[in-house]
Amino acid sequence: MPIERVWWEQRLGDGSGKSCMVLVDQGTAGYPCKLQAGVTADDFYYRGLNTTGPTIDPFSIRLSSAFVTRFPGVNGLDISAARVDFAPGGVVPLHSHPG
């Protein structure tokens, strides 16, 4: 499995910052890190969850999601986010997200 480097900043109690590097196993579902030169502020801000739109039949819902391909700032954090808007009578069928 590929190994990649991930950088983060650790805040110390005295307010100084310390840059750290750690080797992280990318895993089978991992996404490669962006090169440091290509990282922008937009990688850490996502506008896709703040708007509503038309719902989809037959469930009468609208799903907006934020995951690593749309929101690169969450890469390596094992998180994503979603917003679900329900029309009157809207439902989300029973389902699972294994993995």
Domain ranges for the chain: 3-86
Written as six digits, the tokens of 85 are 């808007």
Q: How far is CA 61 from CA 13, 46, 65, in A?
A: 45, 21, 13
Check if the beta carbon of residue 44 is closer than 8 Å to that of residue 18.
no
Per-residue pLDDT at 5: 41
pLDDT in tens, 23-77: 455 544 567 777 888 888 998 999 889 888 889 999 999 999 888 888 888 887 8
Written as six digits, the tokens of 89 are 């009578």
Which residues make beta-bridge pairs with 11? 17
Written as six digits, the tokens of 37 are 């030169």
Report the predicted TM-score, pTM, of the whole model to 2 decimal places: 0.57
